[in-house]
Amino acid sequence: MKAECTWGEGPDVMLSLDNTAMVLHEDPCDLDKWKHGIVKQGSLDLTAAEAHKLAMELLAAVNKVNELEQICKDHDNA
């Protein structure tokens, strides 16, 4: 997966999948309607603001994962 600047007319940033499997979910909160699929080729077009927001949310999620991993490791070593 990679991000590229596509500034100009249209979107500012393109996130290309490049054979990276992405699982897409529809209605994940309603288990009776929950659907999913895998996409390996394609791209997402984002504005600069959308790309920045996504980057910040990804970093926050990674930091939370690291925190939880450390808690588990500390618990296992106690």
Contact 11, 4 (CB under 8 A): no
Residue 65 DSSP SS3? helix
Q: Please calculate the CA angle 18-61-59 and round it to the nearest 5 degrees.
A: 70
pTM here is 0.76
Contact 17, 41 (CB under 8 A): yes
The boundaries of the domain holding residue 20 are: 2-77
Counted domains in the chain: 1
**pLDDT of 34:** 78
Q: What pLDDT, in 10s, does the model give residues 14-73? A: 999 988 898 888 876 777 777 888 999 999 999 999 999 999 999 999 999 999 999 999
